[in-house]
Chains A and B, each alone.
Chain A
Amino acid sequence: MAPSAALFPPLPIASEHFRALTGSMDRPVTPPDTGAAGDLTSALYRVTAGDRDGLKTLYRSTSAKLFGICLRLLGNENEAEDVLQEVYVTVWQKAGQFDRTKSSPITWLATIARNRSIDRLRLKRVRTESVEAGLHVADESPLPFDIVELGQQQDRLSRCLDELDDRQSQVIRAAFLNGASYPELAAREAVPLGTLKSWVRRGLLHLRGCLER
């Protein structure tokens, strides 16, 4: 059984911006725009209007979180910097597409950062997969953390992930947090690709059922 501790330090990381993360995309909630989420939403609106100070505000409040995401996925600072730059240029151009009835500002930004990083990661793997058949998933040393109040949504997801069998929940988390691909996960778990895929699919459907209860 692959040890999970090293791959997924189970440390709830404080992020004041993430406290705002109470609305989920599948259940649109428009939180009152107060506190961090409200500041970020107004910064995003200012960016839409081409306000450079709005961009600065947005950058100062979110870049550490987004850089953390890029770094976690890419495992390389130079690449994470390049992707982070792309993310903010994208945000400058596409801030008008942010819809606060569908997600919180930080979720929207984090999703762009994740998608951009995954694109980069897959491209890198196309280049290297012939030489690195097994491929490792970057280990991360634990980082400083604070205890944060976990919102309802966090609780629900972690409860539902706990309902899965350990390996299912580990591979699903690795896919999201580390950007692991199916072949990498199969190699890590030492199971055939088909077996892994069916675990993951069963796990995902169970997760959906649990989250909808």
Chain B
Amino acid sequence: MSGDQRLSDEMSALAAEFALGLAAADDRVRALRLHSEDPQFRAEVAAWAGRFTPLFDEVAPVAPPSGLLARVESAIGFLDARPDPVALRRSRNIWRGFSLAATGIAAALAIVLVNRPDIPDAGRSSPAPMIAMLGADQGPPLIVATWSPAARKLTVTPEPGAADDDHHSRELWVIPAGGTPHSMGTMPKRATMQAVLDPTAAALLAQGVTLAVSVEPPGGSTTGQPTGRVIASGKLQSA
């Protein structure tokens, strides 16, 4: 075993656990750090993911409901895509990513607003604690946010290792269903950030809102709206 470029068994097993989604707690934190810092570990994770892909063949195809393509197109911002109202009402992820054309987003959101008079709990905070796991597109959660409405306390734990560089900050946003992003400030470099929010900011943190982190100029966006790419996002849900 052991050649120079071969990971130890222990590291390879951790990479496998991470690829499978088995790594939890401290192991996951460690794997996240290695994944962002160590190219060899990252390659091992990819290799493990590849080793298991033949198992996908054991999963039977199941046709999704007919309106789903229209939901996808509407979420992307194609204006003439008209998901049926029931499908749209059930949609939980209309807003994805800041990288879409702004007009597309606005249009998609307008459709959503018109068609979603019955969003449960929108705009109302509940006393139960909530959690959001913010993830990138292909991978486990990178940032965990917990929200205690009773104490108005927001706790954000960033992935270890992916600190800001000198040229960028990472900014946290809350996006109410069908609304505009509100900045919650820039993310801490490594440590957990905890803040007691004022009642106005607290009112934004309702069940189902999206939390997202974007890459911004140092100190945060100067426009009051996200300007860079989104590196992680997730929904706030009852804990």
Q: Beyond A26-B51, A59-B72, A112-B138, is A13–B58 a contact (Cβ under 8 Å)? A: yes
Contact partners of A126 in chain B: CB under 8 A: 131, 133, 239
Number of interface residues of B (CB under 8 A): 58
Please tell me which one of the listed residues A10, A122, A157, A179 contacts residue B51 in the complex, with CB atoms under 8 A apart: A157
CB pair A21–B57 under 8 Å, yes or no, is yes
Q: Hey, what's the 0/1 contact readout for B49-67 against A, CB within 8 Å counting as 1?
A: 1111111111111111100
CB pair B57–A18 under 8 Å, yes or no, is yes
The CA-CA distance from A129 to B17 in the complex, in Å, is: 20
Number of A-B residue pairs having CB atoms within 8 Å of each other in the complex: 200
Please tell me which one of the listed residues A55, A93, A114 contacts residue B99 in the complex, with CB atoms under 8 A apart: A93
Q: Hey, what's the 0/1 contact readout for B61-99 against A, CB within 8 Å counting as 1?
A: 111110011011101101000000001001111001101
CB pair A119–B59 under 8 Å, yes or no, is no
User: Is A12 an interface residue when CB atoms closer than 8 A count as contact?
Assistant: yes
A interface bracket (residues with beta carbon within 8 Å of B): 35 or more
Q: Beyond A67-B63, A127-B237, is A207–B51 a contact (Cβ under 8 Å)? A: yes
Interface hub of B16, B59, B60 (most chain A Cβ within 10 A): B59
CB pair B96–A122 under 8 Å, yes or no, is no
User: Is A42 an interface residue when CB atoms closer than 8 A count as contact?
Assistant: no
**Can you list 23 A-B pairs, Cβ within 8 angstroms, ordered by A?**
A18-B56, A25-B53, A63-B64, A63-B68, A68-B62, A78-B90, A80-B64, A81-B87, A85-B75, A86-B93, A89-B72, A89-B93, A93-B100, A103-B53, A111-B53, A114-B56, A115-B21, A119-B140, A123-B234, A144-B60, A175-B22, A182-B22, A182-B24
CB pair B138–A176 under 8 Å, yes or no, is no
Residues of B29-62 contacting chain A, CB below 8 A: 46-62
